[in-house]
Amino acid sequence: MALLDELADALAADTMAAMAELGDDRLYMDVGKVIGTSSPSLQEAFMTSCRLRLSEQRGRAYLEQVLRQRRAEAESQGE
């Protein structure tokens, strides 16, 4: 259902931005509970989108860390 996924993903994006602004890494859980009372389907799509976004953020942070570390090692070996 395209509308369901679009709405859930837009809400997830807004929630992730609010989490960063507020420093509240569990806000998505509260939002999920609120929407789950009226639409379990939207809740599941929203939670999936949030989990995907959080996982991507963790993966990206790890990749950046590894790149910084390896580049620093290569620089120190080149000197």
pLDDT in 10s for each residue of the chain, 79 residues: 699 999 999 999 999 999 999 999 999 999 999 999 999 999 999 999 999 999 999 999 999 999 999 999 999 987 6
Alpha-carbon distance of 63 to 68, in angstroms, equals: 9
Give me the pLDDT at residue 39, please: 97
Phi-psi region of 11 (alpha: psi -120 to 50; beta: other; left: phi over 0): alpha
Give me the pLDDT at residue 4, please: 95
Q: How many independent structural domains does the chain possess?
A: 1
CB count in 10 Å sphere of residue 24: 13
CA 69 from centre of chain: 24
Residues of the domain holding 29: 2-78
pTM of the model: 0.85
Alpha-carbon distance of 19 to 25, in angstroms, equals: 6
Question: What's the full length of the chain, in residues?
Answer: 79
Give me the pLDDT at residue 14, please: 98
Give me the pLDDT at residue 79, please: 62
